[in-house]
Chain A
Amino acid sequence: MPPTAYHAPETIEQAVNLLSGDASARPLAGGTDLVVQIRSGRAAPGAIVDLKRIAKLREIRREGEGFAIGAAVPCTALKDNAALAAAWPGVVEAANLIGSVQVRNRATMAGNLCNASPAADSVPALVAAGATCIVVGPSGEREVSVEQIPAGPGATSLKSGEFVAEIRLPGPAKGGSDAYLRSIPRTEMDIAVVGAGASIALDGNGTCTAARISIGAAAPTVLLVEDAGKALVGTKLDDAAIDKMMEAVRAACNPIDDKRGTAEYRTAMAGILAKRVVQIACERAGGNS
């Protein structure tokens, strides 16, 4: 077995060249998925292109009202950015549920997204937040919504030589906030049996003006449940609206029975967690109005 080549480019262009020049090359950010896969024999890339030496990818910067988060920013660094943590508490919390503290000191949201696990914790929160990502590759740069990246368990829509360079979050809506929760049998060090993210905005009267609900581990990819959001917009989040939202979430679920949970339990929990994240996001939004 030839040893895997390791490259540490310092610019995005160099990284694109390395990745597009070798179909067996894989980008590496935190490495908390890729290195584990290599060690267990599930991945055998011919080359690794480490993105961590690219200064731009290690930054969180303001982009208008919103935020641009480099692909090599570790999850724990998100907590240290006070403006980001205030604007998108659900996203920052979700990213800081992954693995352990040690893992989160390395792991990145871009990696969590491109690993394309339906159970990725940060992804439902990003989808609910309406996040996009900047994809770079041999044919230049494009911006796509986060939910368009995963194509199925372990598969992405990225083309050969492409990688996610940046995740962009919009500025939070006025009177808006977000939340993410997951169901795990333990309290930490676990993978979501099911997860739910919500981003909600309320007007001064407490009427919901915008809502995005996303669920994880309930289908082959993380889902944006548009009907769930629609069930809430224009309501005061009364019980009937919440019930309708939960029903839309359950209807969108297409989970599997596996060692982590049954399809029936996952579907039921998706509804419960969606209700709870809407409640938390509303409490937070109330504080922001």
Chain B
Amino acid sequence: MNAPESKDTFKVVGTRPIRPDGVEKVTGKAIFGPDYKASNMLFGAIVRSPHPHARVRGIDTKKAEAVAGVHACVTGADFPTLEDTIIRMGESAGSTTDMSQNVMAQGTVFYDGHAVAAVAATSQEAADEAAALIEVDYEVLPHVIDINDAFKQDAPVIHKDQRQTGLGEGEKAGPNVSTKFVMANGEMAKALEGAAATVSEHYSLLPVHQGYIEPHACVATWKADGKIDIWCSSQGAFNIRMLTASFLHLEIGRIRVMPLEIGGGFGGKNSVYIEPVAALLSKKSGRPVRLAMSRSDVFRATGPAPGAEIDVTLGADADGKLVAADVTFKYSAGAFRGTDAMTGVMHAISQYLVPAFSVTGWEVICNMPKHAAYRAPGAPQVNFAVESAMNELADELGLDPLDIRIKNAVAPGMPSMMGTPFGEIGLVECLEAAKVHPHYSAPLGPNQARGVACGTWMNFGGPSTASVSIAEDGSVLVAEGNPDIGGSRASMAMMAAETFGISYDEINVTIADTSSIGFSMMTGGSRTTFATGKAVVEAAQAVIEILCERAAKMLEVDVGDVEWMDGEAVSKSAGKRLTLKEIAVKSGATGGPISFEKGVNPLDHLPGYGVHICDTEVDPETGHVTVTRYTAVQDVGRAIHPAYVEGQLQGGAVQGIGWALNEAYIYNKDGTLDNAGFLDYRMPVASDMPMIDTVMIEKPNPAHPYGVKGVGEVSIVPPLAAVGAAVGNAIGKPMRDLPISPDRVYSAMNGKG
């Protein structure tokens, strides 16, 4: 199933139709997580810890239960005791006991905002009043937030007997170290000695939140037959089902999750926070229960991506060819272990061919919310450090920063960090396109400077299911198990339309609930258009085969004589053709309903690469940074719907610019989060941004019927270093610590940085 050589052979793929869910969403009619209401439902409220670390000596719910309208209270004691098992969820994984404790504390609270109890009542007001009356007796324990402090041997112990993986034999690490992960090749130290130029620096970043606009919300009902219905938005209804079943110790089949429209996830809605709590409140009260987070809850108890402390040493020969790379980083994990240190190692230098390298990633537990995946999880932090060092190396050698990258870029056939050869990747094409882009040679104004960086994300494939059915009038229905986050209804409809040879408008796409379609891994890892798209295409091809068989019957010809062309079954020998509608109308007489459900598990996805060019202007008196021009170049495989691909490039760039300039988790000395709202958690606003120009390099993935490569995550990787380099070049001092807030730029300009 090789991708056609020329895009011109496609009729639908590569066009820009309006997404089917678009008007509903922009007019406020679409039903998102917080919008859903069940009849007779109760309203829940969660009590959250005001302490970053404390033992819960007791919880008294008597006063809360006496409030008029209160029907149920739940605490950690209502959760079953679990055996610790590791659950894999695509680009992340976690332990069941950790994740269950994260949903509700079971004896100890590990961060400001950690859930300790919940209540359900007939009104939100009554629930809030009752929640305030739940008395929790805390024994406050020493806490630690900062990565370097948490890493120390004598740091406050967060989990007694912390499971530590990856340590060498006899190697001792501090009590909060959860993971050490190393990838190495060649004789690094020797190669560094022989280098003509080296750069060795330290870089740091603070945790940042995914910043989705829709807070987490759900309605759950524990029914009389012991089965549970859950309505919520998420990046994967099947993930919500599996995690809720694990935490409540139930068979998966007892839980049915109805996906609602999602208002942003960016990795942060793979986790489960409130659904099991709502289910337990429903079990106790006998009524459906709604739980919804406030914005402050979202900041305090969900999400952030790891902060990092990173050391990078790069060595190159006189021509700028890398000879060695030594990278060691520490990532924060929050209260429970995660997986970003591993993906961080895998993406540290994977854009370059380096003969000798050693990359070590440490993960450190600290008293912050359990970190969650955030767009290319683990990659942007280490990329910021390595790409910044690469820019410094280019300066030292007097090389153009794109030229030094072209010299070292990985290309098809070269070995990856793991030694396996790369497939049809497009980094070199991206670098060359950036170099000839008018932006790269455009003149700069006073106080302006330019920075570049490149980055990669491995992308993913994995299990997905799609079904295609033909209604009795010939309407084509597609059902998928992946939520529509970046326009997947549209892209699935386009791939189905292309396969059937009919128009986009003739395909009707539904996001099915977990009991109505086979397993589909979450929407994450930039996998959906690739893997679920493959399932849709293969289901459509199977339906076409059925349609040809039925047409053969109707035309009384051999099935081998029937060919599917432009939405019709064509019999050359009979000189006749039957439309999809004509076949569907007669399906009752030719064998019954026409449908096919296809499960796939492709792992022949390809990594994506991006190169970003950023111009900034720095106010020389105040340190304010304005991004004046920005261009994102990316190998996108084949853009099924180019407008949405461009949107992914732009969205990732904007999030990366926010990460670089102003976003950060800020904790008080007492370990509570000081900026749990959009006022002081400074995400960019629209007027902060220039138009993000995009260049799509289309180098198709031969393993996908339409050449798809994942596009959603690469674009958040390069901005951090591109912005950092632009600001650094503007003020003549490298910026090695994010965020590059005005006061930091001011300090650097005045010799205090």
- Write the residues of chain A forming the contact surface with B, with a CB cutoff of 8 angstroms: 1, 40, 183, 185-191, 193, 258-262, 264-265, 268-269, 272
A187/B688 contact (C-beta < 8 A), A259-B674, A272-B622 known: yes
A259/B680 contact (C-beta < 8 A), A185-B741, A187-B685 known: yes
Closest to B668 in A: A259
Task: In the A-B complex, list the 6 residue pairs whose CB atoms are closest, starting with the nearest.
Answer: A265-B743, A187-B687, A259-B666, A185-B662, A259-B674, A272-B621
Complexed CA–CA distance, A269 and B746 (Å): 10
- Docked-complex contact B679 and A186, CB < 8 angstroms: no
Question: Per a CB cutoff under 8 Å, which of A1, A191, A258, A269 touches B622?
Answer: A269
Closest to B294 in A: A40
Can you show 5 pairs from A to B with CB atoms below 8 A apart? A183-B624, A186-B688, A187-B688, A189-B679, A261-B743
In the complex, whether B129 has a CB less than 8 A from a CB of chain A is yes
Could you tell me the distance in whole angstroms from the C-beta of A139 to the nearest C-beta in chain B? 38
Complexed CA–CA distance, A189 and B742 (Å): 17
Q: Which of B125-144 contact A (CB under 8 A)?
A: 125, 129
- Docked-complex contact A186 and B682, CB < 8 angstroms: yes
Complexed CA–CA distance, A1 and B125 (Å): 9
Q: Which of B129, B296, B680 has the most CB of A within 10 A?
A: B680
- Docked-complex contact A188 and B743, CB < 8 angstroms: no
Residues in chain A near residue B129, CB distance under 8 A: 1
- Docked-complex contact B742 and A265, CB < 8 angstroms: yes
Question: Per a CB cutoff under 8 Å, which of B674, B679, B746 touches A268?
Answer: B746
Complexed CA–CA distance, A187 and B742 (Å): 12
Complexed CA–CA distance, A1 and B129 (Å): 8
| A-B interface pairs (CB < 8 A), number | 47
Could you tell me the distance in whole angstroms from the C-beta of A27 to the nearest C-beta in chain B? 24
In the complex, whether B731 has a CB less than 8 A from a CB of chain A is no
Complexed CA–CA distance, A40 and B624 (Å): 32
Could you tell me the distance in whole angstroms from the C-beta of B171 to the nearest C-beta in chain A? 38
Residues in chain A near residue B666, CB distance under 8 A: 259
Could you tell me the distance in whole angstroms from the C-beta of A160 to the nearest C-beta in chain B? 28
Could you tell me the distance in whole angstroms from the C-beta of B458 to the nearest C-beta in chain A? 33
In the complex, whether B14 has a CB less than 8 A from a CB of chain A is no
Residues in chain A near residue B743, CB distance under 8 A: 261-262, 264-265
In the complex, whether B355 has a CB less than 8 A from a CB of chain A is no
Complexed CA–CA distance, A185 and B688 (Å): 10
In the complex, whether B162 has a CB less than 8 A from a CB of chain A is no
Residues in chain A near residue B680, CB distance under 8 A: 191, 259-260
Closest to B626 in A: A187
Q: Which of B619-646 contact A (CB under 8 A)?
A: 621-622, 624
Residues in chain B near residue A190, CB distance under 8 A: 679, 682
Could you tell me the distance in whole angstroms from the C-beta of B723 to the nearest C-beta in chain A? 14
Residues in chain A near residue B541, CB distance under 8 A: none
In the complex, whether B567 has a CB less than 8 A from a CB of chain A is no
Residues in chain A near residue B746, CB distance under 8 A: 265, 268
In the complex, whether B492 has a CB less than 8 A from a CB of chain A is no
Complexed CA–CA distance, A1 and B747 (Å): 50
Could you tell me the distance in whole angstroms from the C-beta of A196 to the nearest C-beta in chain B? 12
Closest to B741 in A: A185
In the complex, whether B601 has a CB less than 8 A from a CB of chain A is no
Could you tell me the distance in whole angstroms from the C-beta of B111 to the nearest C-beta in chain A? 18
- Docked-complex contact A191 and B621, CB < 8 angstroms: no
In the complex, whether B185 has a CB less than 8 A from a CB of chain A is no
Q: What 0/1 readout, one digit per residue, does chain B (735-753) give for beta carbons within 8 Å of chain A?
A: 0000001110011000000
